[in-house]
Every structure is written in C-alpha cells, then in structure tokens.
Amino acid sequence: MKLNENMKFAFIDTLAATPINFTLNFICLSIAFSLQMTAIEAAPFLTAVFFVCAIIRKYYIREFIDRRNYD
C-alpha cells in the first residue's frame, strides 16, 4: 500500500534528519557567531545549508529504500 511506503519514508527521513540537523545547528551557528552575523544574515545562511543537506539526505534515503524494495 502506498500510504505505508510513504509513512515509512517519512519516518526514516525524519529519524535520520534529527541527529544531522542537531549537529549542523552547532556547526552553522558557530560559524555565524564567529563571523558576527546578524539574524538577517544568518537566517538565509542557515536556510541554504539545511536546504542542501535535506536534498542530499532525502536522495540517499530514497535510493536506499528503493534498492531494498527491488532486491
């Protein structure tokens, strides 16, 4: 059933994202603070970093699930 597959993907993706995002928060905020960025400057920087990482993460998780389904 498609709903179960989508739910599995959403759960795995969110589970994988949590430690990645937690770590990225520390790294990106440290960079933003060291560069003395304002909130207006830091928000697009953080958004861009999280966007790129989310696309990469979702691609690899989707590939992993698809590979398991076809094997």
What does the DSSP 8-state code read for residue 35?
Answer: T
Query: Would residue 16 be called left, alpha or beta, if left means φ above 0 and alpha means ψ between -120 and 50 degrees?
Result: alpha
When pLDDT is averaged across residues 39-56 and rounded to a whole number, the result is 96
Instruction: Name residue 51's amino acid.
Output: F
What are 12-37's pLDDT values in tens digits?
A: 899 999 999 999 999 999 999 999 99
Q: Round the average pLDDT of the chain to a whole number and report it.
A: 90
State which amino acid sits at residue 31: I
For residues 17, 32, 51, 68, the Cα torsion angle rounded to the nearest 10 degrees is: -30
| Whole-structure pTM value | 0.79
